[in-house]
Structure 1
Amino acid sequence: MPRNKALSLTAVAAAMALGLTACGGGGTESSGEGESSGSEAEPLQLGYVFPETGDLSFLGPPQIEAAGMAMQEINDAGGVLDQELPEILSGDEANDAAQANEAASRLLDQDVDAIMGAAASGMTMAIIDKVTGAEVVQCSGSNTAPPLSDYDDGGYYFRTAPSDALQGPILADTILGDGHQSVAITYRADDYGEGLANSAADALEQAGAQVTLQEGYDPKASNFDSVVNAIANSDAEAVLMVSFEEGVQIIQGLLEAGIAADQMYSADGLNDETLAEKVDEANPSAISGFKGTAPNVDNAEFTERLQEFAPDLEVFQFGPQVYDCVMLTALAAEQAGSTDPAEFADDMVSVSKEGEQCSGFAECRDLIAEGTDIDYEGASGSIDFDDNGDVTSTSIMVYGFNSDGEHEALDYVDTGTE
């Protein structure tokens, strides 16, 4: 059974012009595994379901641009199976299940071979049955909810971001390392929020710390006064909020309640370089000392390339992971000699580990053409997918905000399951 599937990144007009068929991937096989016969294969069609609007819209641009940069590099090297990748097909998840479903349906109707995304774990939960049931590969660079590890996806779902089962303990260590022994935890009541909150709480309690509060909240609430009051009444030394952009209101409320920013912690949902201005535009230093964790890698060279490719980018989170999703999908198609996701899904795992290490599409593609098993070393790390399509090693960044309210990478912690 194939391991994963990805969506196509082409525009509707481009897809119609290419005469692609309706659903499930339109690629055809080449002459044999590792032997590219590009003239026999239809172009690999990619798509994305990313947040272009909604409370995670700050994560859309870095993921969209990283996918675009990967595609440009692939096309500059001659394309997949000697066919240039068509323009990526877009879909807005908007952190809304109905809208994410509509976006996925449109992409499937345009015969994508692979979908990048969704960005939010909850939005992937909303579309994964539709995408993988159509036998299309799905690869997310930012899904972290633990339940996705053993989800029945037919072998078509992958993620280059780590499960929160890996991030939670590092978040707990960050809080404990600052000397806090009692923690109030509040989280958005969805798959992402509950999964990371439970992972961090378990690690805190195993280390002997007290969790004085662990409560979910409705992220669509009109205000978060009850959340702030519950935290203030818990008498905890530190606060962990697993939030998206609604966390800005919670931070503002906690500051007004007299809780200092250096008692506050969060994760990737609030890893936003512009967070200080959102909390207090007139006084960005108000969140000095605020800390969190997020899947990230110390890869300045990649960030510089992405900045050069997209000079207006302000947020870079999950860019390396999405870049790797595109590269792995392209290399899997090369390895299978086919742009049909039913043919290349199994190769998503094989190109990620246990072969000759390589980086960059051209280098890895040339090794495949020589009949060499490859181990793609990505912009986000080693990848090394397991049988569930999860990474087995990763890097977690500890971030913070300095006395001027500027976002900083404080540390990078390597972790993994092997």
Structure 2
Amino acid sequence: MLKLWSIAVSVFALVGTSFAMTACQETGSENRQENPSPTSPATDAESLKLGALLPASGDLSAVGPPLIESVSLLVETVNQCGGVNGSPVTLTVADDQTDPSVGAEGITKLADVDKVAGVTGSFSSSVSSAAVNVAVRSKVVLISPGSTSPVFTEQAKKGNFQGFWARTAPPDTYQARALAKLARQKGFQRVATIAINNDYGIGLEKEFTQAFKQQGGTVMNENKPARYDPKATTFETEVGAAFANKPEAVIAIIYGETGSLLLKTAYEQGLSQGVQVMMTDGGYSEAFVREVGKTGDGKFIFAGTIGTIPSADGKALNAFKALWQRKQNKPLSAFVAHAWDAAALLVLAAEAANRNTGEGIKSKLRAVADPPGTPVSDVCQALARLRKGEEINYQGASGNVDIDQNGDVIGNYDVWIAKEDGKLAIVGKVNPAK
């Protein structure tokens, strides 16, 4: 069943000032209380309504909850410094359960019943694929913090999205190149792939194979790639195919819940011994490490696995980290900054358009994200400038979030490793463009 929560966040209902972003304080109390000029009211009577379509449960349940918290925190912060177009922003959250059919139901509810103008989501590419057509039809702007399939770029080039789609995480075209480059840097010549059988898995697998071959490597199972059903509960056949003939590395493009069972199966069958497992962002979670489990002598099976993940290195990152630590009292996890930026772009575009509608957001999305406006990394400062009629170039927490005509951003990638204590650590960077 679809799970929905309605969160109405009012500037008058917030508790204390600890929810305000540190950098907001630089604008002074005047800017935090500043409202739009009475001579330039918003063209829409209703306040801005936003939605979040993210996985609180299902295969990506280890990733989704912090993203929801990030979007909610963005709305709280915006309302504390004056809201959008003179009114507080409201937020309704839908759990897509990492299921395309549930995601389609969720976006329909958000658009038709809750009347949202913009939605942060989804994370899964397959869920976003199911949701984006509904969003376009309903004239709702959908900005994903993590749907990285190259399919979206291809569809955008055909004009299918009409400007109602964007993402703050770069497409897997770049992650595939980064992962291929990392594999070659590690000296691997012969690798195999195993991927979840959905838009994310197949798209990244194909892009990786092409990139690795261009760099002189061989993908041993290129002609018969190993792919597994997202709803599968056993993986003996798939891992047998991927680890056959002892590749130097297996590129595992997987999600947390099913992927942990897959890697545990490979270990239990004795297939992973002596083979380097390399992963992407879909399995980047310490909960994933725990789910894969331990060996008989108490060591984590997952230890030594390496992978790539989009970097979060924007100009607003330090201030956002400080806010997150105060609010959540826990480290910043993967894609949380990307979710913050996705929601930030929605509110900034609505303010710039002076319209609380999807078409209004669409009309100003690239204007607030891209040059030549004044660079600004603080959301409250950005809103204050927009209220004065100034142009801005938002510099986010995840990166500069310059959005191209296809709704894409270009980013760098962190290299991560699973340590022996079960923790994940960033150990380097890899630039797919170099």
Residues 395 and 413 of structure 1 are in contact (CA less than 8 Å); yes or no, is this contact kept in structure 2? yes
1:83 to 62, 77, 87: 87
Partner SS for 1:286: coil
Asked if 1:303 is matched to 2:321, the reply is yes
Q: Encode CA deviations 1:5-59: one digit per residue, 9 max, x unaligned.
A: xxxx972899xxxxxxxxxxxxxxxxx9998525964211011111111111111
Q: How far off its partner does 1:276 sit?
A: 2.1
Asked if 1:120 is matched to 2:124, the reply is yes
Asked if 1:286 is matched to 2:281, the reply is no
Asked if 1:197 is matched to 2:215, the reply is no
Asked if 1:11 is matched to 2:22, the reply is no
Q: Encode CA deviations 1:243-268: one digit per residue, 9 max, x unaligned.
A: 00211122112223142486001111
Q: Distance in 2 between matches of 1:291 and 1:406?
A: 12
- Which residue is 1:275 aligned to? 288
The verdict on how the C-alpha distance between 1:100 and 1:34 changes in structure 2, with shifts beyond 3 A counting, is farther
Q: Encode CA deviations 1:47-77: one digit per residue, 9 max, x unaligned.
A: 1111111111111111101101111111111
- Which residue is 1:20 aligned to? none
Residues 303 and 316 of structure 1 are in contact (CA less than 8 Å); yes or no, is this contact kept in structure 2? no
| Larger deviation, residues 137-146 vs 217-226 | 217-226
Q: TM-score, normalised by structure 1?
A: 0.87
The verdict on how the C-alpha distance between 1:278 and 1:301 changes in structure 2, with shifts beyond 3 A counting, is farther
Identify which of structures 1 and 2 has the higher relative contact order when contacts are C-alpha pairs closer than 8 Å and 6+ apart.
1
The letter for the 1-side match of 2:347 is A
The verdict on how the C-alpha distance between 1:222 and 1:403 changes in structure 2, with shifts beyond 3 A counting, is closer
Residues 247 and 275 of structure 2 are in contact (CA less than 8 Å); yes or no, is this contact kept in structure 1? no
Residues 349 and 360 of structure 2 are in contact (CA less than 8 Å); yes or no, is this contact kept in structure 1? no
1:171 to 165, 172, 179: 179
Where in structure 2 are the equivalents of 1:10-49 lying within 5 Å? 11=6, 36-38=40-42, 41-49=45-53
The letter for the 1-side match of 2:59 is D
Asked if 1:106 is matched to 2:124, the reply is no
- Which residue is 1:400 aligned to? 417
2:95 to 78, 84, 92: 92
- Which residue is 1:411 aligned to? 428
Q: Distance in 1 between matches of 2:39 and 2:132?
A: 31
Report how many residues are paired. 389
The verdict on how the C-alpha distance between 1:300 and 1:360 changes in structure 2, with shifts beyond 3 A counting, is closer
The verdict on how the C-alpha distance between 1:401 and 1:154 changes in structure 2, with shifts beyond 3 A counting, is same
Q: Distance in 2 between matches of 1:383 and 1:263?
A: 33
Asked if 1:65 is matched to 2:83, the reply is no
CA RMSD of aligned residues (A): 2.5
- Which residue is 1:24 aligned to? none
Q: Distance in 2 between matches of 1:218 and 1:33?
A: 55
Where in structure 2 are the equivalents of 1:188-267 lying within 5 Å? 188-213=196-221, 214-245=225-256, 246-256=258-268, 257-260=270-273, 263-267=276-280
Asked if 1:353 is matched to 2:357, the reply is no
Q: How far off its partner does 1:81 sit?
A: 1.2
Asked if 1:138 is matched to 2:128, the reply is no
Q: How far off its partner does 1:340 sit?
A: 1.6
Structure 1: 5+ residue runs without aligned partners? 1-8, 15-31
Q: Encode CA deviations 1:304-354: one digit per residue, 9 max, x unaligned.
A: 42232223x577111111100111111111111111221221211111111
The verdict on how the C-alpha distance between 1:129 and 1:77 changes in structure 2, with shifts beyond 3 A counting, is same
The verdict on how the C-alpha distance between 1:41 and 1:325 changes in structure 2, with shifts beyond 3 A counting, is farther
Q: How far off its partner does 1:285 sit?
A: 3.1
Q: Distance in 2 between matches of 1:153 and 1:50?
A: 20
Partner SS for 1:119: coil
Q: How far off its partner does 1:388 sit?
A: 1.1
The letter for the 1-side match of 2:89 is L
Residues 58 and 98 of structure 2 are in contact (CA less than 8 Å); yes or no, is this contact kept in structure 1? yes
Structure 2: 5+ residue runs without aligned partners? 10-35
Q: Distance in 2 between matches of 1:166 and 1:377?
A: 21
Partner SS for 2:95: coil
2:163 to 139, 147, 155: 155
Q: Encode CA deviations 1:207-251: one digit per residue, 9 max, x unaligned.
A: 111100133221222200001211232321100111002111221
The verdict on how the C-alpha distance between 1:279 and 1:367 changes in structure 2, with shifts beyond 3 A counting, is same
Q: How far off its partner does 1:270 sit?
A: 0.2
- Which residue is 2:55 aligned to? 51
- Which residue is 1:180 aligned to? 188
The letter for the 1-side match of 2:250 is V
The letter for the 1-side match of 2:399 is G
Q: Distance in 2 between matches of 1:232 and 1:362?
A: 51
Q: TM-score, normalised by structure 2?
A: 0.84
The letter for the 1-side match of 2:252 is M
The letter for the 1-side match of 2:108 is S
Q: Distance in 2 between matches of 1:33 and 1:192?
A: 45
Partner SS for 1:186: strand
Q: Distance in 2 between matches of 1:280 and 1:178?
A: 26
Q: Encode CA deviations 1:181-222: one digit per residue, 9 max, x unaligned.
A: 110101111110011111111111111111001332212222
Q: Encode CA deviations 1:100-155: one digit per residue, 9 max, x unaligned.
A: 12211211111111111011010011111111111011111111000101321121
Q: How far off its partner does 1:180 sit?
A: 1.2
The verdict on how the C-alpha distance between 1:363 and 1:415 changes in structure 2, with shifts beyond 3 A counting, is farther
Q: Distance in 1 between matches of 2:248 and 2:44?
A: 64
